[in-house]
Chain A
Amino acid sequence: MTVDKNAVKKIARLARIQVSDEKAELLSADLGNILNWIEQLEEVDTTGVEPLASVNEHALPWREDIVTDGNITEQVLKNSPEVAGDFFVVPKVVE
């Protein structure tokens, strides 16, 4: 598996991580090596094997529909790098 520079940039864009051209070059080799190593999984015959997402065997617990939370605006905003009034603030989003 090779992950070329453009592929690295595409993934980095999806992950919202800025990468310079130089770094993309390094990562290209890095990721390629790791993925090559991971490709040993191809040796395993998994025909008909149900994927396992969770080892839990119990049922998903259901919560009662009652309001038990909220009304903690101060806590919610407390750690934010930028707030205005009771809003979080980000650079302007253009739709």
Chain B
Amino acid sequence: MSDLLKMTAAQALSSLSKKQISSVELTTAYIEAMEATHELNNYVTSTTELAKQMALDADKARADGNAGRLAGLPIGVKDLFCTKNVMTTACSSILNGFVPTYESTVTSRLWESGGVMLGKLNCDEFAMGSSNETSVFGPAINPWSARDGEALSAGGSSGGSASAVAAGAALMSVGTDTGGSIRQPAAFCGVVGLKPTYGRCSRWGVVAFASSLDQAGPFTRDVEDSALIFSVMAGHDAKDSTSASMSVPDFSEAINSGVEGMRIGIPGEYQMDEMDNEISDLWRQGRKWLEQAGATMVDISLPHTKYALACYYIIAPAEASSNLARYDGVRYGNRIEAETLDLMYEATRASGFGEEVQRRILIGTYALSAGYYDAYYLKAQQVRRLIKQDFDTAFSDVDAILTPTTPSAAFSLGKPVTDPITMYLNDVFTVPANLAGLPGISVPAGLSKQGLPLGLQVLAAPFREDRLFSVARTIELQAQFSLAPARAAGELQ
């Protein structure tokens, strides 16, 4: 069993199909790893009994010759996906005890393909945060350690999803990305994180944060696995009116096709003053790798990049203020009793939502309210169009864009950031893709001086995830990044 946790999903599938291992063995290894890494706080609910059963079923299906594409692979799920008969809280106290009677489309697809559910993963409350610190369960911890030994943030909002895959507590996981919530924690934890094109993965059954930005995506150990699980997650869903009816291509060719002849854009505006030097260096290194692999690097301009964050921090809270109105203590979740209906609402929501969630609801309410709508919400939507147009223009010339994923490596959990804007700056490189609906991937590309993983981000035109995989795989091969976090389970250490 020593090698079980080291396998990628593709390797595990190969061993499973050769009957060298069983899903029960693999799953058991992961359940043990979950226990061993318990202190990382990445699972908020573990479903070990269910996992064992699903593993048995997967083994049986494989024996019967009907193994699905993910048959027997242990997967963790961000606690934002509604999972049938398994508590789903969005890591908020307002949803304490909520047990959905339904399964989200994305997770349904995973289980239908034979995936094995390990449990629900920690995240920022309602996916609002960049450090996983707004979770009612406390932050997920990054399995990587800084030289000074302080606990590091796994990033957010899908911190648990990234941490679990990095720590060997899940072979793969799924998360959601509204402003960078997959790519940023992936970069912090040294794993591959994919945010697909808006509309690729159904939002049905996923607790909504900002409907026009939210997108589900996977965390994996490498790019090949990312394509594998993504091809299962993606696809049209009639229950989601914003779901794209595009067919999902086979990405196996894209994985190995390289970047020869590709034109890859380097946006000047992403060279920011506040960015760490080591990030600039990594970015430069990435350019070199791609050039060596035969790509042409092109300097491009995305002039409205600078305004993306401010734009995002109007649009996302505005949508959230409305999406979170349903948490009112009537049909599910926690209720604080009070004399009148309105007092009940106010008490329930004041006690059920954490500080950051309340802050965003208030900002969003303000931005939509009479007298401010035009100045804030409408203005942000106009800027959003300009941001999208920047990308449209860029992609008429280049096949992909290369940027850093984050302006710094994982930060310490020891000194909480008190200024919300400082925290928001974490998403400066990732937010534009959400506003424009583009696919983006973060691939681990190197280590900081502190010995922490750093990620490079690749963006492509809508529905061109194939290009992300080609470019990211090329980087991955050149970078030879090795996933060796200090606080991983057993063999990963």
Contact = CB atoms under 8 A, between A and B. Distances in A.
Direct A–B contact in complex, judged by CB atoms less than 8 Å apart:
yes
Interface of A: 3, 7-8, 11-19, 27, 30-31, 33-35, 37-44, 46, 49-56, 58, 60-61, 63, 72, 75-76, 78-82, 88, 90-94
A91 B339 contact: yes
A68 B74 CA distance: 33
B48 to A, nearest CB: 24
Given A34-B363, A54-B242, A56-B244, A79 B344 contact: no
A91 B344 contact: yes
Contacts of A92: 340-341
- Top 5 A-B residue pairs of the complex, sorted by shortest distance between their CB atoms: A55-B437, A51-B381, A79-B332, A52-B385, A46-B382
A72 B102 CA distance: 12
A15 B348 CA distance: 12
Contact of A16 (B334, B349, B436): B349
A58 B236 CA distance: 12
A1 to B, nearest CB: 9
Contact of B362 (A17, A40, A72): A17
Contacts of B379: 41-42, 44, 46
Nearest to A52: B385
Contacts of B325: 16
Contact of A14 (B344, B369, B380): B369
Contact of A81 (B335, B339, B363): B335
A81 B376 CA distance: 37
B388 interface: yes
Given A79-B332, A79-B333, A11 B365 contact: yes
A27 B437 contact: no
Contacts of B102: 75
6 contacts: A17-B350, A37-B421, A49-B385, A52-B388, A58-B245, A78-B99
Contacts of A14: 365, 369
B101 interface: yes
B349 A15 contact: yes
Contact of B437 (A16, A39, A56, A75): A56
Interface string B375-408: 0101111111110100000000000000000000
Nearest to A94: B340
Nearest to A16: B345
A41 B311 contact: yes
Contacts of A58: 199, 244-245
B323 interface: no
Contacts of A50: 382, 385
A3 to B, nearest CB: 7
A86 to B, nearest CB: 13
A55 B384 CA distance: 9
B364 to A, nearest CB: 8
B107 interface: no
B330 A34 contact: no
Contact of A51 (B345, B363, B385): B385
B362 A37 contact: no
B377 to A, nearest CB: 8
Contacts of A34: 313, 359, 363, 420-421
Given A17-B361, A30-B420, A31-B359, A52 B382 contact: yes
B271 interface: no
Contacts of B421: 33-34, 37
Interface of B: 97-99, 101-102, 198-199, 212, 238, 241-242, 244-245, 304, 306-307, 310-311, 313-314, 321, 325, 328-335, 337-347, 349-350, 353, 358-359, 361-363, 365-366, 369, 376, 378-386, 388, 419-421, 435-437, 462
B380 A55 contact: no
Nearest to A88: B330
A52 B349 contact: no
Given A49-B386, A56-B244, A11 B331 contact: no
A63 B436 CA distance: 27
Given A51-B381, A81-B335, A35 B366 contact: yes
Contacts of A78: 99, 101
B363 A35 contact: yes
Nearest to B419: A33
Given A51-B381, A52-B384, A18 B350 contact: yes
A80 to B, nearest CB: 5
A22 to B, nearest CB: 13
A41 B359 contact: no
Given A17-B349, A44-B307, A58-B244, A80 B331 contact: yes
B383 A27 contact: no
Contacts of A56: 198-199, 242, 244, 437
A77 B230 CA distance: 34
A93 B245 CA distance: 44
A74 B333 CA distance: 16
Contact of B462 (A55, A82, A93): A55
A25 to B, nearest CB: 14
Nearest to B352: A17
Contacts of A53: 212, 381
Contacts of A75: 101-102
